[in-house]
Amino acid sequence: MAGPGASILRGLRHSAIGRRALAALGAFYIWLVLRTTRWQVEGGEHLDAVVSRGGGFIPCLWHGRLMMSPTWAPPGRRTVAMISNNADGDLIAAIVGWFGVHTVRGSTYDKAKRRDKGGRAAYHGAEAELTEHAAVVAITPDGPRGPRMHAQAGAAMLSIETRAPILPVAFSARRGWVLRSWDRFFVPAPFGRGALVYGAPLDPPPAAGGDVEAYRAAIEHAVTAVTDRADALMGRARILPAGSSAKAAADLPGGGPGE
């Protein structure tokens, strides 16, 4: 049974005033971590490469590594996040707004309730941002409901249709907390060391005849690789994809100790 603290938090999330207060606190905490952490950046040349092209691109990160993402916006570039169309998404949208990040809202099709929760509109909104505004559109390919660290096809399809490259990215920190949520959400502690890792950009295959599944798998592999690398730099045990056994994870590139 949830305690009184959880009930209060739930009530605040569903209140406009409460969300504004929580968003301000969340944004302040992210700013505090950003400013008090000694960051080690690896693969910065990959970010420079896609920025120098001048067009839109798609940073991809796992849902569990969302927390510091509002701080990664390239200076002078319109940055947009695809965010779920629910109460949690309202809170996240308010937090990222403090960092000048715009949003397109929508969730994937809800099979249980047999209704579209704005996913199509969000997808078309992201298309327009990439093609008409050359925006940076951040996506968590395993969100908003998982399974953890398994990429859905949406990011691959969006990249193929807009010709925008994928940029894998992840952060980690020496100290912090891994929550017991489906995505193993990571909350870094301030006043420590952190790592931000960019992977090589992935250019989409041809729009006609391109192998969407192979591209989806390549995105999944690349985002996992940068996440594992960031954790390794900080001496943290890797987070395993949902459904992975310790042996299967050890067989993956960069395999090592699990959660």
Polymer length in residues for the chain: 259
In this structure, what CATH number is given to the domain that contains residue 239? 3.40.1130
Residue 256 lies in a domain: no
CA distances for 55 relative to 43, 52, 75, 155, 241, angstroms: 20, 8, 14, 17, 32
C-alpha to C-alpha distance for 252 and 149, rounded to whole angstroms: 13
Q: Is residue 257 part of a domain?
A: no
239/232 Cα distance (integer angstroms): 11
Domain count, the chain: 1
To which H or E segment does residue 138 belong?
strand 136-138
Q: What stretch of H or E contains 8?
A: helix 4-13
Q: Is residue 208 part of a domain?
A: yes
Q: What is the pTM of this model?
A: 0.86
Flag whether 62 is in a domain: yes
Position 131 in a domain: yes
Domain extent, residue 81, equals: 4-251
pLDDT digits (tens), the chain, 259 positions: 455 545 445 555 567 777 789 999 999 999 999 999 999 999 999 999 999 999 999 999 999 999 999 999 999 999 999 988 877 788 889 999 999 999 998 765 444 444 555 678 889 999 999 999 999 999 999 988 889 999 999 999 999 999 999 999 999 999 999 999 999 999 999 999 999 999 999 999 998 777 999 999 999 999 999 999 999 999 999 999 999 865 444 444 443 333 3
